[in-house]
């Protein structure tokens, strides 16, 4: 599945380079018009990141999300600073299909297990941002990629599997926002090792060929941000690459 992604600061679509708030590019687009068009072209779900909410929970862009959800009928998954039951309840009540949990799945693992049980595995996406070190350990970073944890990707997935974990958004942060191509080896490996997980691949996609190669790895979805915004290829081309028989 192709999942277009939009990062939002102060109601405006932006892209951060390597997660750096000081290195952002603004896009002068009407997001609701984009989503309406994407829906008409066959997009099933879009990925929104509330960068204001990620920085400060009190600054969550709920008004914008309400406007989007009331103006379009496309499914939406939202991430960015979601840390409490209240955050999740508010978004699901708005009509959000899935909430994306990042740092909390490291900092508050018991609470995440609880959420998987309360809301169900289809409503929760774990966002695991990794950097692969010289020993090929997939080290997890949190807090906007600032803090390296002592956990690796595999052990966190294994921890949540008994709780019904289904959706994992895995980003190779060395690739994100760079247009340098995705880490095909990474997604091939984790798709083979965790066949019950619906992986969403994110980071580095720059050509339609990247989409074809990612589909071969076994990931269930591809998150595409900058390359669509900058028209490296069209949404029609992206969907066609995903749908074509291998």
Strand partners, 15: 25
Q: Is 7 one of the catalytic residues? A: yes
The angle at the Cα of 206, spanning 200 to 208, to the nearest 5 degrees, equals 80
If you search the block for the tokens 């942060």, which residue do you land on?
173
Number of Cβ within 10 Å of residue 193's Cβ equals: 12
C-alpha 88/C-alpha 116 separation (Å) is: 12
Number of Cβ within 10 Å of residue 78's Cβ equals: 27
Q: Is 87 one of the catalytic residues? A: no
Strand partners, 222: 2, 201
Catalytic residue (choose from 52, 129, 176, 210): 129
Q: Quick one: which H or E segment has residue 124?
A: strand 124-132
Any alpha helices (H) in 142-183, and if so which ranges?
Answer: 153-160
Query: In this structure, what are the phi and psi dihedrals at residue 209, rounded to the nearest 5 degrees?
Result: -60, -35
Angle between helices 208-217 and 235-243 (to 10 degrees): 30
Catalytic residue (choose from 7, 50, 52, 176): 7
Enumerate the active-site residues: 7, 129
């Amino acid at each position: 599945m192709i999942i277009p992604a939009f990062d939002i600061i102060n109601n405006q679509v932006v892209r951060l380079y390597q997660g750096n708030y000081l290195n952002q590019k603004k896009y002068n687009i009407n997001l609701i018009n984009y989503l309406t068009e994407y829906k008409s072209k066959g997009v099933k779900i879009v990925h929104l990141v509330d960068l204001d909410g990620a920085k400060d929970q009190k600054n969550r862009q709920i008004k914008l999300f309400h406007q989007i959800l009331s103006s379009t009928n496309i499914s939406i998954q939202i991430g960015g600073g979601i840390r409490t039951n209240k955050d999740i309840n508010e978004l699901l009540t708005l009509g959000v299909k899935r909430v994306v949990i990042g740092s909390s799945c490291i900092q508050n693992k018991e609470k995440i297990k609880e959420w998987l049980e309360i809301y169900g595995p289809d409503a929760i996406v774990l966002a695991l941002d990794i950097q692969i070190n010289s020993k090929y350990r997939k080290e997890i970073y949190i807090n906007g990629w600032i803090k390296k944890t002592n956990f690796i990707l595999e052990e966190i997935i294994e921890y949540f599997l008994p709780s019904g974990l289904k959706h994992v958004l895995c980003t190779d942060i060395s690739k994100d926002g760079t247009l340098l191509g995705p880490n095909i080896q990474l997604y091939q490996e984790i798709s083979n090792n965790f066949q019950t997980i619906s992986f969403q691949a994110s980071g580095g996609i720059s050509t339609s060929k990247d989409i074809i190669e990612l589909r071969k790895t076994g990931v269930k979805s591809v998150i595409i941000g900058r390359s669509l915004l900058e028209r490296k290829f069209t949404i029609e081309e992206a969907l066609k690459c995903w749908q074509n028989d291998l």
